[in-house]
Chains A and B, each alone.
Chain A
């Protein structure tokens, strides 16, 4: 009989459920068997991303500021053990392994159709065994520099980061996840160990497994390989971000066929526990304002200001919340005017209640689809767990949200004086 505490998370409507085991090592383990599937997907993540560049533990007298891009660099380097490359280990099990660093999290994952236990062993082993030397850290610099340069050739991505820099004064969200060719020059094995020791604490991490696997086998491997970490009293510091944007307009030359634009409305950040609620409201609000059914979209397309694509994104993170519209236009300033006009009109005339009901239905359909693959299920469980929520929270919030909530969000979220536009032409 296991002594670890566990919870069963259940979706009342569909009766789907998964288990959260609070492992004695400090790691939370999320388990969703899907016996009809061939694949199993496992991902272990830490609440450590590119924005966590200033922190302290009980070993530090003061906060430490580390170079931009170090979380991503660490992710690359963790794939190398003292005696082997991790990809070569996974090659022996047939698993497809990968890793990704985001603004807030770093995730290591594999998916497999056989040898699940061996692959889980590799995953749990290598994330707990950093091996950084001057030589192997230097070797990686050229590869990451090329990754950074590759992204510099993607104008849409550059337009997005230019927007973040126009909106945010000091919040590290405005820094590219991989850092810059210059900033990665400052990264040393010692700094990598410092970051690893601070953030790769099992209490700060979670493991999600979904697919065709045996729960007991998975937990037995966790019992064997997870090494409890000492709580180092990690504290993360973020600078005070002013409410106002830095500047309303930024423009970059990059010889594109049709100018690209990103328009961002900077909002007050949501409290962590209300993040999903806010996201749902903001997402529906953006759809009502700028989706294919909206008068704004109609005017933008029929007037020839944009082609049929108008991207919508609720971009949020700890201390960050913004609503972004993006697309291509020969006259991005006219697009901005049109967007501002329709927000004002929506305030004056109100939003469309019938469309709200339709969009709610569409959102519900989207959440059903997301949980139909082991990859999607594991990813969802992990992402919501990092916010202290379960993966069915989104469906619950969508079911609960009212038209009045969206009307209120229109007033609270969008400040038509607090926006930026980024243009690439």
Chain B
């Protein structure tokens, strides 16, 4: 294995991470802007980065940019936006096959890097603000997205419940944002947000792939170092995104109705313990594998659902249990989920279950070594947690955990929020009219 990983804080507020392995046949560059989650700015930053990916001053027409990307062997250039704890991550990324896999060994990696930089630093402007050409389209698209938030009922339930589970915290901020704020965005406010983003964000850049794009890396580094040097003041380096969410004194229970066929049930449990590795293991044993407590009991034994799974949001110290159940069975499923967590708390699991789960996690962690995406995500979240562990190191820590660690982890979780999204009319999920 020729994997090499190198991270450096290149300047105040600027971090470079290089992940290279000769077995990969692509080169990817991800530029992330990390800011605090905030109701108004998060929407603006997300909007602005999506606009930047549409065109730039050199390729002001979307079709021109698409043609350029096609000519670079179908390179992908796209914006990113997601939440990590109480932080917002926005940015742009480019990826393409590595130069050695092009038909005539052409150099496309430098051009990909230049295209990415042009999109970020040379947007298509008119009269000192973003050009209206795609501004209007992207604004309409944002409004459509907000209006269509419930189209995917499962995601809608996840978002709605998250707002309640993290009420009063930045993590409750809904990424598409509010309709009112979206309608108020102008070319001017968007351009101001763009400048604010470049000026204030902590910037984390990852280079992932075969690693032969030396000049491309230099181009990116040089330009971002210049940006940081130009910024008016030093930006604080973010060491960790961890921001534990405090458990409510009494669990909150909410029920909403919507036109759908199946109820969506989401439960949140919170801990105040920082035993990250134990929580990951406990959560996997509880509901993160096809042989977990939830899978074996809620799905297989009671046939209550098709999916019932738990996931641990380590940056918020929060475990979510997510399920789709027949209307009318919500209480039964809730009771069984609680019963299975109690089983974990009482140590009602075998050593075999414990070892099998460790093995499952081991396999999952090692699999990250095989894809650029896996390694990119792994090391980004390591940084978000304030650590630098490799998958193999995490496996070692997990191996050392005992059943007592798992029991202690399970006992530290308290029920915080129960959210049910139930069908308005249990009989129908749609009606033919033409």
Which residues of A are in contact with B by a Cβ distance under 8 Å? 14, 34, 36-39, 85, 87-88, 90-97, 111-114, 139-147, 149-150, 152-156, 158, 249-258, 260, 291-294, 297-298, 301-302, 304, 307-308, 328, 355, 358-359, 361-366, 368-369, 372-374
On whether the beta carbons of A361 and B74 are closer than 8 Å, the reply is: yes
Which of B24, B73, B304 has the most C-beta atoms of chain A within 10 angstroms of its own C-beta?
A: B73
Cβ of B364 under 8 Å from chain A: yes
The residues of B that contact A291 with a CB separation of less than 8 Å are: 66
Beyond the given pairs A142-B326, A150-B262, 18 more chain A to chain B contacts, judged by CB atoms under 8 angstroms and listed by A's residue number, are A14-B101, A34-B23, A38-B370, A39-B370, A90-B291, A112-B363, A140-B303, A143-B300, A149-B262, A155-B151, A255-B150, A257-B144, A257-B148, A257-B151, A293-B67, A298-B63, A368-B101, A372-B25
**Contact yes or no, B23 A37, CB < 8 A:** yes
A and B contact pairs by CB, cutoff 8 A, 14 listed: A90-B291, A93-B359, A94-B363, A111-B367, A146-B262, A153-B153, A153-B154, A153-B261, A155-B152, A257-B147, A292-B62, A304-B136, A328-B148, A368-B101
Partner of B73, one of A88, A153, A254, A362: A362
Closest to B137 in A: A301
Assess the B262–A361 pair: CB atoms within 8 A.
no
CB neighbours of B152 from chain A (8 A): 154-155
B276 at interface by CB-CB < 8 Å: no
Contacts of A253 in B (CB 8 A): 430-431, 433
Cβ-neighbour of A372 out of B26, B96, B364, B431 (below 8 A) = B26
CB of A183 to closest CB in B, whole Å: 16
Question: A366, B262: Cβ atoms under 8 Å?
Answer: no
Q: Give the A-B pair count, Cβ closer than 8 A.
A: 210
Partner-A contacts on B (CB < 8 A): 1-2, 21-26, 54, 62-63, 66-67, 69-75, 96-97, 101, 103, 136-138, 140-141, 144-154, 258-262, 289-291, 295-296, 299-300, 303-307, 324-326, 352, 356-357, 359-360, 362-364, 366-367, 369-371, 429-434
- In the bound assembly, the distance between CA atoms of A368 and B95 in angstroms comes to 13
B262 adjacent to A38 (CB under 8 Å): no
Residue in B260, B324, B369, B430 whose CB lies within 8 Å of A38: B369
- Residues of A within 8 Å of B72, CB to CB, are 365
Shortest Cβ-Cβ A-B pairs, 6 listed: A257-B148, A362-B74, A365-B73, A142-B303, A94-B359, A292-B66
CB-based nearest B residue for A247? B434
Within 8 Å by CB of A358, from B67, B97, B136, B366, lies: B67
- Smallest beta-carbon distance B85→chain A, Å: 27
Contact B364 A308 (CB under 8 A): no
B137 touches A304 (CB 8 A): yes
Name the residue on A nearest B374 (C-beta). Answer: A373
Q: Which of B97, B151, B153, B369 contacts A369 (CB under 8 A)? A: B97
Contacts of B356 in A (CB 8 A): 91-92, 94
